[in-house]
Structure 1
Amino acid sequence: LPSSFYFYTPEKAGMYYSQDRDKTIEYLTKIPLDYETGTKHVYSDIGYMLLGCIVEKLTGKPLDLYTKQELYKPLGLRHTLYNPLQKGFKPKQFAATERMGNTRDGVIHFPNIRTNTLQGEVHDEKAFYSMGGVSGHAGLFSNADDMAILLQVMLNRGSYRSVSLFDQKTADLFTAPSATDPTFAFGWRRNGSKSMEWMFGPYASEKAYGHTGWTGTVTVIDPTYNLGIALLTNKKHSPVADPEENPNVFEGDQFPTGSYGSVITAIYEAME
């Protein structure tokens, strides 16, 4: 599967153009493959979108309702949810994620594009325009307090206090290295080679795993040190560095916090 697909843009999506969730889900299984299965490993939003749809198919429930009932409510999490502005939260309770909607300072255009400052709405275009804000690859909001509990679930290999979400065998399966690339696991990136220092820094153990988010977030979990790190920034809420050359590179990407690894390194150095 390709790493991404522009469902929401008629010019790029062609016959698969969709700003309707049901139609997008129908198209997901029709997206052309990029390379022969099993020959390469690429992070794919499309894969996670399909995974969310599989959960909905198996459980008979929308993904946001299922995750709330089975995961977040049992853990006592009150700020981890999809589409928070539709559920009583206000924009001021969230970090802004881009100054002028999805326009990259006015360079990008497509039907129904948002032009206002994004705050409390999922930034990801596929999730917002094509999946109604609820998708397996993007759309989930949280805060540091809730994140700490979710990190602890993984450090505890599936449980938190009296709540057990999955067993140790499943936790080990989630984090086992892929046969095709040791820097990948199920749903996680792993500190599987020096190529991951940009994210994990030089001091994380070989067992460390985590994930990043495009708008400026990173999670690192290191069982060797019983350590969980959640770095939540909004680096994309800054001017585009060079709109004509590359509209996806923002000035915030060039901040020390924007490179992730420098902050993670400082935390490990502080422990030592």
Structure 2
Amino acid sequence: MDKKSSMRFLSVSLLFILLFTNFMPLMANADAMVSQGNTRFPEEEPTSRIFARDRQVFKGYEGKGHILIENYGVESAEVYINGNEIKVDEVLKEKHGKRIFDIGEYTVNGDNTIKVLNVEPEGTYLDIHLFYPKIGIGNPEDVGFSNKKLAEIDDFINKEVEEGFPGAVLLVLKDGKIVKNTAYGYKLKYDGEKLLDEFQPMDPDTIFDLASNTKMYATNIAIQKLVSEGKLDVNKKVIDYIPGFTGDTRENIKVKDLLNHTAGFAASIKFYMPDNPLGEEFFSHDREKTLELLEKAPLEYETGTKTIYSDTDYMLLGYIIENITGQRLDEYVEENIYKPLGLKNTKFLPLEKGFTKDEFAATETLGNTRGGERDFPNIRKHTLQGEAHDEKAFYSMGGVSGHAGLFSTTKDLAVLCQTILNHGGYGNTKLFDGNVLDQFTKPSDNSITFGLGWDRAGNMDKVWQFGPYASNLAVGHTGWTGTLTVIDPKHDMAIVLLTNKKHSKFEDGKFEGDDFQTGLYGSIVSLVYEALLENN
């Protein structure tokens, strides 16, 4: 077999595997299905407008999609996808039949319609489960990108690597397809201050310290899930979930104040340092003690009068999740969010859960010492690889916190991004309601660039993060270690840029990696949008 034939065989094999792995979970879990909308046809309480009955819109993609139909006594019915009747005779042969149907022949990108008519006999019904779209692998040109312009992004980032930028992985997800997942540079260049003789190359499966993207991929999603399940109300007060949260007007702070970063807390409390500005009373390298100290965290300004991005807000939100669920944050999100989605590389404390250091992008070269310029008890001085960089998360919260500590890969994050683009679900897993997501991603009362826990493009105030082309519906987050997410529903697109820009020399009060455009986010995001919008 020649090289060209071998590549063709490999491509076909990969396509078969992708289709097989996407379809089999639907069959395996057919008894526990969720759906994008109401599932019963005919509706139990139909409108008096006869041509508005038994019709729904669902999200789909061209050439992809499955529905599960369960029959409850129906002998005849007509089921239409985008006006095309699908043959459902085989499920009607059995009064309690159940079948999965491939509807890819009729689906389109975006909004699709389903209607179910003439269900007979009276009193019988069909349950139709509309699975959420799952991602696949695609050709950039098929979804509107210029391959030439995407290649120019590769050239740009690779040039910055040659000039000293450590490394990155860039993923682009469009119309349900990963059209780019490219690695650049190196996951490890230094052992302490020593430059290695041989660098460890970055690869697309490298696991990154997400830093504050933890707020989005763990805490926000968990809270949206709990709200959808009626277990948490963001309009209730924090004291309703943390009984010890009293004094200094804390009793008036609502959960949504934490999400909006308007609760009144300073940007950070340095629990990990005995000489922190609040005094030794607020020094803690013990997770339980830190949680107790959070109940006493002093306010810096009157609640609701300012918007100050604060890690303390999210440390408290993680605490709330734990009090509601009775599980530590990592246990809850890994069991109830990541596992149902099939995500195996999204973890807190990954080195304690079977991963090895060489799977990770390294961060700071000398622990948390900033080039040896600072010191505090138990400070790490080795090159960090697979350990949470954030000091509050690592030292004060045992590696598990609502504001930082999560690790992941671009591929895992693509699934979470698609869940957001799907308005709350993925495949046969529903995490939260679409209307809850709408509430969380709309502008806050104080700022168009903040939602409930989400960064918003909103206007040009965050062009450094979202670039100049993102729609005003785009949401996302950044992480101090060099991570970025942009999710743009208008373009049905997500951009995930994971870098290890802190894995560089620290001189004159800054990391060398911070000076490169790749680690400044906005330029790369802008170039990705141009590859789409300027593809003439």
On whether the aligned pair clears a TM of 0.5, the verdict is: yes
Question: Aligned with 2:289: secondary structure?
Answer: helix
Bigger fraction of residues in helix: 1
Is 1:250 matched up with 2:511? yes
Superposition map of 1:22-171 within 5 A: 22-171=288-437
Matching residue's letter, 2:338: Y
Q: Which has the larger radius of gyration?
A: 2
Identity of aligned residues (%): 58
Deviations 1:29-75 (A, max 9, x none): 21111111111011110010000010110111111111111100000
User: Secondary structure of 1:230's match?
Assistant: strand
Indicate which of 439, 444, 450 corresponds to 1:173. 439
Structure 1 residues not aligned, in runs of 5+: none
User: Post-superposition shift, 1:193?
Assistant: 2.3
Rounded to whole Å, the distance in 2 between the matches of 1:214 and 1:29 is 25
Q: CA deviation at 1:239?
A: 1.0
In structure 1, distance between residues paired with 2:295 and 2:446:
23
Whether the 8 Å contact between 2:272 and 2:285 is mirrored in structure 1 is yes
**Which 5+ residue runs of structure 2 have no aligned equivalent?**
1-264
Which residue number corresponds to residue 491 of structure 2?
Answer: 225
- Find the partner of 2:468 among 202, 209, 216: 202
The CA deviation at 1:228 is 0.5
| Aligned-partner residue type, residue 167 of structure 1 | D
For 2:270, the equivalent position in structure 1 comes to 6
Considering only aligned residues, what root-mean-square deviation do their CA atoms show, in Å?
0.8
For residues 195 and 259 of structure 1, the distance between their equivalents in structure 2, rounded to whole angstroms, comes to 15
Preserved contact between residue 458 and residue 471 of structure 2 (Cα < 8 Å):
no
Give the aligned residue type for 1:216.
G
| CA–CA distance in structure 2, aligned partners of residues 251 and 178 of structure 1 | 35
Task: Kindly indicate whether the alpha-carbon contact (under 8 Å) linking 2:475 and 2:487 is maintained by their aligned counterparts in 1.
Answer: yes
Question: Would you tell me which structure has more strand in proportion to its own residues?
Answer: 2
SS in structure 1 at match of 2:330: helix
The structure with higher relative contact order (CA 8 Å, sep 6+) is 2
Deviation at 1:241, TM superposition (A): 3.4
The answer on 1:265 being equivalent to 2:526 is: yes
Cα distance per residue 1:206-265 (max 9 Å; x no partner):
1111100000000000000000011000101111231xxx3xx21111111111000000
Distance 1:29 1:236 in 2: 32
- State the distance in 1 between where 2:348 and 2:283 align: 23
SS in 1 for 2:275: helix
SS in 2 for 1:252: helix
CA contact (8 A) 2:371 2:507 kept: no
Give 1:19's aligned amino acid. Answer: H
Partners of 1:150 and 1:201 in 2: how far apart? 22
Task: Give per-residue Cα distances to partners, 1:110-140, cap 9 Å, x unaligned.
Answer: 0000000000000000000000000000011
* Count of equivalent residues: 267
Distance of 1:219 and 1:165 partners within structure 2: 19
The 8 Å contact of residues 477 and 485 in structure 2, kept in 1 or not, is answered as: yes
Q: Which residue, 263, 281, 287 being the options, matches 1:21?
A: 287
- Which SS does the other structure have where 1:36 is aligned? coil
**From 170, 181, 187, the counterpart of 2:453:** 187
Measured after TM superposition, the shift of residue 171 of structure 1 is 1.0
C-alpha distance in 2 between matches for 1:206 and 1:176: 10
Query: 3-state SS of the aligned residue for 1:268?
Result: helix
- Which runs of 4 or more aligned residues in structure 1 lie more than 6 Å from their structure 2 counterparts after TM superposition? none
212-221 or 185-194: bigger deviation: 185-194
1:3-50 residue CA offsets vs partner (Å, 9 max, x unmatched) = 111001001142111000000000002111111111101111001000
